Amino acid sequence: MKMMHDKGIFAVPTFAISEYFAAHAATPQRAQYLRAQLEFHAAEFKKQMAAGVPFAVGSDVGPFPHGTQAREMELMVEYGMKPADVLKADLLNSAKLLGWSGQVGELKPGYFADIIAVPGNPLNDITVLSKVGFVMKGGVIYRRP
């Protein structure tokens, strides 16, 4: 964790996939094992936060429905990260991790303008990110309330 902090190596927790597999385990014993792994993962996440490790957001979406990635951010808050830090990890740090800084992650002239609107302030309630009512991608509106 010290090396991750010192070198600016991002941690990408991917809690949502662990939660999904635990909820869809083939047996109760497997579910119990996977829930214990998730709790261990959450404890390590807290240690990483305390050590100042930088974070980005990723969900490993695949077996669960696309459009549900906001659950990852909800879990990061549930496990102790402040909503503002989760949004920074999602927007700014993820862009940096992917090599897209200066192109995405912020509303600035010359950046790709992909915008969503939600019915509330995610700084007060991160779960509003799962209630997207407006989507604009590349200047084209795809969903409006």
Number of H helices, E strands in the chain: 6, 3
- Which residues span the domain enclosing 125? 2-143
Contact 59, 14 (CB under 8 A): yes
Query: What's the pLDDT tens digit per position in 22-55?
Result: 999 999 999 999 999 999 999 999 999 999 999 9
Contact 76, 15 (CB under 8 A): yes
For 109, half-sphere exposure in the C-beta direction (CA atoms, 13 angstrom radius) is 0
| CATH number for position 62 | 3.20.20.140
Query: What's the pLDDT tens digit per position in 50-85?
Result: 999 999 998 787 777 777 889 999 999 999 999 999
Q: Number of folded domains in the chain? A: 1
Please tell me the predicted confidence (pLDDT) of residue 83.
98
- DSSP string for residues in 83-125: HHHHHHIIIIIHHHHTT-TTTSSS--TTS---EEE-SS-TTT-
| pLDDT band for position 143 (cuts 50, 70, 90) | confident
Contact 98, 90 (CB under 8 A): no
